[in-house]
Chain A
Amino acid sequence: DAKTTQPTSMDCAEGRAANLPCNHSTISGNEYVYWYRQIHSQGPQYIIHGLKNNETNEMASLIITEDRKSSTLILPHATLRDTAVYYCIVLKTSYDKVIFGPGTSLSVIP
């Protein structure tokens, strides 16, 4: 499975867009990019996923580069409740061993 690298931490002003990068340079053609987040003391929560095309849902947007070696999760209008650790992972199928790295700790500042 491809490994991912993310910055350890980031800050974002409340109301601004939060852009969280992820590198997955060894991703295979049939591997999806998934994003989860974990708010303190809670279990991880699914945010969004994609294969090649950019994706958007009610929570966020996912921008995947054309070579698929990196992606960016965008929270368009960050709120204090978006303060969490964000994980970028790559998976082939739902039976994959889901491996989470350390993630990015996002702090949304008033």
Chain B
Amino acid sequence: NAGVTQTPKFQVLKTGQSMTLQCAQDMNHEYMSWYRQDPGMGLRLIHYSVGAGITDQGEVPNGYNVSRSTTEDFPLRLLSAAPSQTSVYFCASSYSARGGMETQYFGPGTRLLVL
């Protein structure tokens, strides 16, 4: 299994540009989520999904959209990038069983710089 994969690894955007961060997992996990990580603030949840066709907002959802058309993929879209969205983005997935957060796997991250 490849686990959780994220593309791209690095990206530089100009203010106002749009882009999609890709996340895929091959473990048949139902739960997937996106976090951003900024210095001194730990990880903050952006959006999450408990299964295909179902998404919900996390702590900091503004400026981001998600969709979950398949179990495997959970893309994160920035419609109009802003410098405040400069961050490292992590995608994660886990098995859906209750109390199963110990099986949560994180991707390697995408480093985004918005100029």
Contacts and interface: CB of A to CB of B under 8 A. Distances in A.
Given A43-B90, A44-B90, A102 B102 contact: no
A71 B35 CA distance: 25
A101 B42 CA distance: 5
Q: Is the interface of A mostly helix, strand, loop or mixed?
A: loop
Interface of B: 4, 31, 33, 35, 40-45, 48, 50, 58-59, 90, 92, 94-109
Contacts of A98: 33, 43, 45, 92, 101, 104
A102 B108 CA distance: 19
Interface stretch (A18-26, A74-82, A86-94): A86-94
Contacts, number: 68
A100 B97 CA distance: 21
Interface residues of A, number: 23
B108 A43 contact: yes
- 8 shortest interchain CB distances as A-B pairs: A43-B106, A100-B42, A100-B43, A94-B100, A102-B42, A93-B98, A101-B42, A94-B101
